Amino acid sequence: MTNLYAALWRGFPADLGRIAIETADTAPARLYTWRDLDRASSRIANWLDSLALAPRSRIVAQTGKSVEAVMLYLAVLRAGHVHVPLNTAYQAAEMAYFVADAEPAVVVCAPRQLDAMRDLVAKSAGDHGLACPHVVSLGDDITGTLLDSAAPFPDTHRVAAAAADDLAVIVYTSGTTGRSKGAMLSHGNLLSNARTLRSFWDWKPDDVLLHALPIFHVHGLFVALHGALLNGSRIVWFSKFDARDVVAQLRDATVFMGVPTLYVRMLAEPTLDRAACARMRLFISGSAPLLVETFDAWTARTGHVILERYGMSETVMLTSNPCRPERGERRRGTVGPALPEVAVRTVDAATGTPCACDETGSVEVRGPNVFAGYWRMPGKTKDEFTADGWFRTGDVGRLSDDGYLTIVGRSKDLVITGGYNVYPAEVEGFLNEMPGVAESAVIGVPHPDFGEGVVAVIVARPGAKVDGATLIAALKSHIAAFKVPKHVEVVGELPRNAMGKVQKNVLRERHAAAFGPARR
């Protein structure tokens, strides 16, 4: 039996009375023991059992970040159902899509949304001729009808049997183009990756994780949370990221995981220094590219070298820079070699033939962590796997002769101008080094002569004046003329999603008419 909860539970410390999670942004701090996690998730699991749902029913959770939301996740696993976490930013029309697609048996939402959610799911179920799901609420302050419903149930629970390939979680991809797809992750996918990361990142029981990421995404829910639970390590818990408070709490932690934007914001805090990080063992970055400049600035300020890793909703983690020095260096600008058990290759997009070292191509992967497919999208699933079983990540990258992967961008962000391929990350790398440039995003938009024209969207450093013509002239001495942006826009900030990824689709729409009226 491979129920992920049972495996996580085996990692809990022998003394269940020890603190598992303490909240850092409530006054006073809330302390949860390992026993609390086990008992509260038992009650919720028993309540789920009482509903007599079909095995592997979908349980949609659109809740704020709270320890009780973690208990709900653990309960769903132990009851043998499928957790479907959703970003709280989703609005009614988006929720209607997810409810119709996931066909949940239970929907958990914020208390203030309870009535609206009831109406929404009733309508959606009616429209699709389905049974209406149970709708309950969970607040950020230990309130809600979920906890009320679960309270009378026993605090012990027999964990449901689950095979390695039984579905555990559906993670909806951020869906920047077309419909959001539900990536189906099994108990085995999640457990194998958690175990791999445990040994690769050298997790120890006395580690303390500072958790400041959302829990509707792979990074916060699996990489961070599973790591600590599987190791019986205490978690210092932030319901949302606040740079000053997080820097202050680093004194009490040994492991931190963040998206690059979090590192940038922490670097802006004058209190971030070596003393603040004296107890820290490991800083990990992922979910979006870490600028070389951030990597260097972090080392200079804190004495710590950030470990950058790469993964995605469909695969959990794929590559990682080494943790232990004897395994190699943490190489700036790269996401490291493939993790043990994971295979990564780069291939020519047109022919599918493997690329030579340092040649740029499409990144394909396989391993026990790779998902089974997209929920109810067999056609899409088939398209994304090669005939010999490799998953096409949609990322473009290159492998060095010693196996380090560099991500160059998403294939759909590749710009083809006058028949030439331009990899945005390459141009962004040069732009980011130019005086006065804080960060940049390079996109392709319709161009009357070239099909697509290269546009650079720039954020200037505070107080700096950046002139597009000067940047273009300077770039010409570094890169081939076809790669040099034909148009530069200076903006206050780049649009990003909750995980800090620059939303290039938004930029492409905004600047679609840079070379004349946009053509569809």
Q: Are 202 and 4 in contact (CB under 8 A)?
A: no
Contacts to ligand AMP from residues 467-506, by CB under 6 A: 499
In this structure, the number of other CB atoms found within 10 A of the CB of residue 176 comes to: 16
> Measured from the CB of residue 321, what is the shortest distance to ligand AMP in angstroms?
9
Nearest distance, CB of residue 172 and ligand AMP, angstroms: 10
Segment 157 to 176, residues that bind ligand AMP, using CB under 6 A = 173-174
| Residue 48 Ramachandran class (φ > 0 left, ψ -120 to 50 alpha, else beta) | alpha
Cβ proximity to ligand AMP: between 210 and 407 the closer is 407
DSSP code per residue over 206-226: T-EEEE-S-SSSHIIIIIIII
Side-chain-side CA neighbours of 319 within 13 Å: the count stands at 26
Whichever of 271 and 400 has its CB closer to ligand AMP, that residue is 400
Segment contacting ligand AMP by CB under 6 A, of 41-49, 246-254, 308-316, 343-351? 308-316
Stretch that binds ligand AMP, among 86-94, 237-245, 307-315, 472-480 (CB under 6 A): 307-315
CA angle 129/132/138 to nearest 5° reads 150
Q: Which of the ranges 7-15, 62-70, 192-200, 286-294 carries the binding residues for ligand AMP, by CB under 6 A?
A: 286-294
Segment 331-350, which members bind ligand AMP (CB under 6 A)? 335
b (16+ CB within 10 A) / e for 127-155: eeeeeebbbbbbbbeeebbbbebbeebee
Binding string to ligand AMP for residues 365 to 394, with x set by CB under 6 A, is what? ----------------------------x-
Given 182, 286, 367, 373, the residue binding ligand AMP (CB under 6 A): 286
CB-nearer residue toward ligand AMP: 171 or 243: 171
Alpha-carbon dihedral 186, 308, 502, 359, rounded to 10 degrees:
-90
| CB of residue 371 to ligand AMP, shortest distance in Å | 11
Contact residues for 519 (Cβ-Cβ < 8 A; gap 6+): 446
Choice between 166 and 308, CB closer to ligand AMP: 308
- Distances in Å between the Cα of 225 and the Cα atoms of 74, 144, 237, 389, 410 are 11, 23, 10, 29, 27
Residues 313-332 that bind ligand AMP (CB under 6 A): 313
Neighbours of 120 (CB within 10 A): 19
- Contacting residues for 179 by C-beta, under 8 A, at least 6 apart: 97
CB of 328 to ligand AMP, least distance (A): 17
Question: Considering the rule CB under 6 A, would residue 84 count as an interface residue with ligand AMP?
Answer: no
- Cβ proximity to ligand AMP, 446 vs 500, nearer residue: 500
Q: Which is nearer to ligand AMP, 145 or 173 (CB)?
A: 173
Q: How far is the CB of 308 from ligand AMP (least distance, A)?
A: 5
Cβ count near 394 (within 10 Å): 17
Stretch that binds ligand AMP, among 40-48, 281-289, 380-388, 502-510 (CB under 6 A): 281-289
CA distances for 100 relative to 122, 325, 348, angstroms: 11, 49, 38
Our CB check for ligand AMP shows the closer of 218 and 490 to be: 218
Q: How far is CA 341 from CA 203, 279, 292, 368, in A?
A: 18, 31, 28, 7
Determine the interface stretch with ligand AMP among 141-149, 283-291, 350-358, 483-491 (rule: CB under 6 A). Answer: 283-291
The tokens describing 147, both together, are 């906890």
Q: Which is nearer to ligand AMP, 9 or 298 (CB)?
A: 298
Q: How far apart are CA 255 and CA 273, in angstroms?
A: 16
Tell me the closest approach of the beta carbon of residue 418 to ligand AMP, in angstroms.
26
Q: Compare residues 80 and 85 and give the one whose CB is closer to ligand AMP.
A: 85
Please give the order of strands across the beta sheet that includes 316-320: 31-33, 19-23, 234-237, 208-211, 255-258, 282-285, 307-312, 316-320
Q: Is residue 427 near ligand AMP by the rule CB under 6 A?
A: no
Per CB under 6 A, does 287 bind ligand AMP?
Answer: yes
Instruction: Tell me: does residue 308 bind ligand AMP (CB under 6 A).
Output: yes
Which window, 184-192, 306-314, 321-329, 504-512, contacts ligand AMP (CB under 6 A)? 306-314
| Interactions with ligand AMP, residue window 213-272 (CB under 6 A) | 218
Taking the least distance from each CB to ligand AMP, the nearer of 136 and 502 is 502
What 3-state class would DSSP assign to 393?
strand
> Taking the CB of residue 49, how many other CB atoms lie within 10 A of it?
18
Q: Report yes or no: 281 and 252 within 8 Å, Cβ to Cβ.
A: no
Among positions 310, 391, 430, 515, the unique one binding ligand AMP when judged by CB under 6 A = 310
Report DSSP letters for 85-96, one per residue: E--TT--HHHHH
Give the number of residues in contact with ligand AMP, rule: CB under 6 A: 17
Helix (H, G, I), strand (E, B) or coil at 516: coil
Residues forming the site for ligand AMP (CB under 6 A): 173-174, 218, 286-289, 308, 310, 312-313, 335, 393, 395, 407, 410, 499
